[in-house]
Amino acid sequence: MISGKPIGRLSLYRRLLNSLLQDGEQSICSHDLAARAGVTAAQVRRDIMNIGYSGNPNRGYDVGKLVESIGNFLDAPEGQNVVLVGVGNLGRAILAFFAGRRPKLSIVAAFDNDPEKIGRLIKGCRCYSIKHADKIIQELDISIATLCVPAKVAQEVADILVQAGIKGILNFAPVPLHVPYYLYVEDIDMTMSLEKVAYFARIT
């Protein structure tokens, strides 16, 4: 069992390696990858060791094979479907941002409660009523939700999603969610992040 931080780094390595591949790079050593990722070489080596890939002493890692190994580790072979909940400003921006970005992780539906939006195609994604969450999540085999609703209704909406069988939530609502232990929640709290930057920009 690997914790959240190494998983995040693997995701980052993959992205960096993919752009190296496009530049025609065949191999890379831990030191170079570490510099690009902003971590230490030892960390890179341990992360790669953890997923069971081995490099070549003297020549480092084969970029293509390493990308493949990371994919085998991170991705579900058959892909995973995502639903975005709350099609406001932020929701629409995220729909546009993720559209086609990762083939094995696609946002296949959106939920909202605004009759103006329901039934429409927004940023290429069909919008449904949150009332039909159960049905849509089952039919489209959705396991992940991206929560972009206002803080006040976040818990209530999360409860609906959990009930419908969601397994993980990416939570943009600026409030901690209470969910059963078997669910994974990752919080992106922009207000908190901005206040952190403000604090450290000031005292350093």
Which residues contact DNA (rule: CB under 7 A)? Answer: 3, 5-6, 29-31, 39-43, 45-46, 48-49, 53-61
Compute the distance between CA of residue 88 and CA of residue 129 in angstroms, rounded to an integer: 14
Nearer Cβ to a copy of itself (29/185): 185
Q: Are 173 and 154 in contact (CB under 8 A)?
A: yes
What is the H or E stretch that residue 92 is in?
Answer: helix 89-98
Q: What is the DSSP code string of 122-178?
A: ETTEEEEEGGGHHHHHHHTTEEEEEE-S-HHHHHHHHHHHHHTT--EEEE-SSS---
Using CB under 8 A, which residues numbered 55 to 114 contact a copy of itself?
Answer: 74-76, 80, 82, 88-90, 92-94, 96-98, 101-102, 105
Q: What is the DSSP letter of 149?
A: S
Beta partners for 168? 144, 184
Minimum distance between the CB of residue 41 and DNA, rounded to whole angstroms? 6
Minimum distance between the CB of residue 125 and a copy of itself, rounded to whole angstroms? 13
Using CB under 8 A, which residues numbered 3 to 62 contact a copy of itself?
Answer: 4, 7-8, 11-12, 15, 36-38
- Which chain residues interact with a copy of itself by CB under 8 A? 4, 7-8, 11-12, 15, 36-38, 74-76, 80, 82, 88-90, 92-94, 96-98, 101-102, 105, 143-144, 146, 166-170, 174-178, 182-186, 188-202, 204
